[in-house]
Amino acid sequence: MKLPRPFYQPLAIGAPAPLRELPVKLERMIHFVPPHVEKVTAKVPELLQQVDVVLGNLEDAIPADAKEAARKGFIAMAKAVDFGATGLWTRINALNSPWALDDITEIVAAIGNKLDVIMLPKVEGAWDVHYLDQLLAQLEARHAIKRPILIHAILETAQGVNNVEAIATASPRMHGMSLGPADLAVSRGMKTTRVGGGHPDYVVLADGKAGDTRQKFQQDLWHYTTAKMVDACMAVGIKPFYGPFGDFSDLDGCEAQFRNAFLMGCAGAWSLHPTQIVIAKRVFSPDPAEVTMAKKIIAAMPDGSGAVMIDGKMQDDATWKQAKVVVDLARLVAGKDPDLAAIYGF
Ligand code: GLV
Ligand code: MG
């Protein structure tokens, strides 16, 4: 195990010092863009008003014969657009693929000073993060990159889930993690054909006798992994995310899945379709009624100590801290969205 002081030293001479705190950023949706499709990348400047993060996807969903074009398209898009406060991320190919090394070396060389985060798929353990950490430090030193590029792991293998705490603590470069339900289903041998969401056969039955028609209650297939991921991330101050929801026609199903993740502690989710941007914005921005209640709690207990009753409900240190989480997030959202700023009363 690395001791605290070396943990925060740069891994290459000339690389920027690792961050001790994550930059405070609004990341309600990580919006996936296929960078080899010019008619999509041409519209990215318009997207910047609507999304918190633009991610150039190089991995799955990009055909093998378009991998090089996607990488080049991402670099061209990153050079051409001023992203302002909107995050610029890429999802590179898996470390065991023929493309990962060129993805990393070419992208850092060309646009390393604009790139916020590399999303690393199919992370199995801390060793995958250590490899990318070291390589990034060498490349940052070579190309005079000013601030460290962060790493976001996708939690999408059974081994990765087993090692989730080691992945979360592998490097000060860790930004966070996303649940990858599609590949995780493969790795676990799940008997499904979906990208995230529930399944009508994953149920419990209400009590009853033989022959009764019993009510079915569908359960959340992802509850266990999401909870494990949230604990591993929040324990060390990095951010958990729900990943993809593949049925673009099921807006209610998507909203329910995103909302479960939000309530459990996730900071955002992936948007793969414009309708999902709207859903993520609605879900991952705090509910105005919750913001009003949180402001009341903070006003009633300015220094967070003691206990008060508000509308018949007990408030104490723990609810004051929950109220702070809600109000701090609402302030971040208000900074990006004037309509919500007015609704929240900031
Ligand atoms: C995402 O990459 C997933 O496999 O769900
Ligand atoms: Mg995947």
Per-residue pLDDT at 126: 98
Q: Cα separation of 181 and 196, whole Å? A: 5
Which residues constitute the domain of residue 174? Answer: 29-284
**Could you tell me if residue 76 is inside a domain?**
yes
Last residue of a domain, one of 262, 284, 306: 284
Beta strand 87-91 with 53-57 is parallel
Ligand 1 pocket, residue 240 CB under 6 Å: no
**Could you tell me if residue 11 is inside a domain?**
no
Please give the distance, rounded to the nearest whole angstrom, from the Cα atom of residue 180 to the centre of ligand 2. 5
Q: For residue 172, which of 332, 19, 17 has the smallest C-alpha distance?
A: 19
Per-residue pLDDT at 1: 80
**Could you tell me if residue 21 is inside a domain?**
no
Does 195 share its domain with 338? no
Last residue of a domain, one of 284, 302, 319: 284
Nearest CA owner, ligand 1 atom 2: 180
**Could you tell me if residue 13 is inside a domain?**
no
Does 224 share its domain with 208? yes
Does 238 share its domain with 134? yes
Per-residue pLDDT at 2: 87
Per-residue pLDDT at 102: 98
Tokens of 106: 């070419």
**What contacts 146, CB < 8 A, 6 or more positions away?**
16, 113
Does 140 share its domain with 222? yes
Q: Is 216 helix (H, G, I), strand (E, B) or coil?
A: strand
**What contacts 320, CB < 8 A, 6 or more positions away?**
297, 298, 301, 304
Tokens of 151: 């790493």
Does 34 share its domain with 127? yes
Mutate to test the pocket of ligand 1, among 156, 192, 247 (most ligand atoms within 8 A of CB): 156
Tokens of 337: 């969205």
- Tell which atom from ligand 1 comes closest to the C-alpha of 91: 2
Does 95 share its domain with 67? yes
**Could you tell me if residue 6 is inside a domain?**
no
Q: Count how many domains the chain has.
A: 2
Q: Is 140 helix (H, G, I), strand (E, B) or coil?
A: helix
**What contacts 250, CB < 8 A, 6 or more positions away?**
197
Per-residue pLDDT at 164: 98
Does 188 share its domain with 307? no
Among the bound ligands, name the one nearest to the CA of residue 181: 1
Does 45 share its domain with 147? yes
Whole-Å CA distances, 32 to 49, 186, 323: 15, 22, 32
Per-residue pLDDT at 238: 98
Whole-Å CA distances, 53 to 89, 130, 277: 7, 25, 11
Whole-Å CA distances, 282 to 37, 287, 314: 28, 8, 28
**CA-CA-CA-CA torsion sign (329, 334, 335, 339):** positive
Question: Bridge partners of 174?
Answer: 151
**What contacts 61, CB < 8 A, 6 or more positions away?**
32, 34
- Tell which atom from ligand 1 comes closest to the C-alpha of 183: 4
Task: Please report where in the chains the tokens 């030193």 appear, as a residue.
Answer: 141
Mutate to test the pocket of ligand 1, among 59, 123, 152, 184 (most ligand atoms within 8 A of CB): 184
Per-residue pLDDT at 232: 98
Does 74 share its domain with 100? yes
Does 242 share its domain with 303? no
pLDDT tens track of the chain, all 346 residues? 889 999 999 999 999 999 999 999 999 999 999 999 999 999 999 999 999 999 999 999 999 999 999 999 999 999 999 999 999 999 999 999 999 999 999 999 999 999 999 999 999 999 999 999 999 999 999 999 999 999 999 999 999 999 999 999 999 999 999 999 999 999 999 999 999 999 999 999 999 999 999 999 999 999 999 999 999 999 999 999 999 999 999 999 999 999 999 999 999 999 999 999 999 999 999 999 999 999 999 999 989 999 999 999 999 999 999 999 899 999 999 998 999 999 999 8
**Could you tell me if residue 142 is inside a domain?**
yes
What is the domain-level CATH number for residue 82? Answer: 3.20.20.60
Does 210 share its domain with 336? no
Task: Please report where in the chains the tokens 């993690």 appear, as a residue.
Answer: 177
Per-residue pLDDT at 285: 95
Does 228 share its domain with 272? yes
**Could you tell me if residue 148 is inside a domain?**
yes
**Could you tell me if residue 4 is inside a domain?**
no
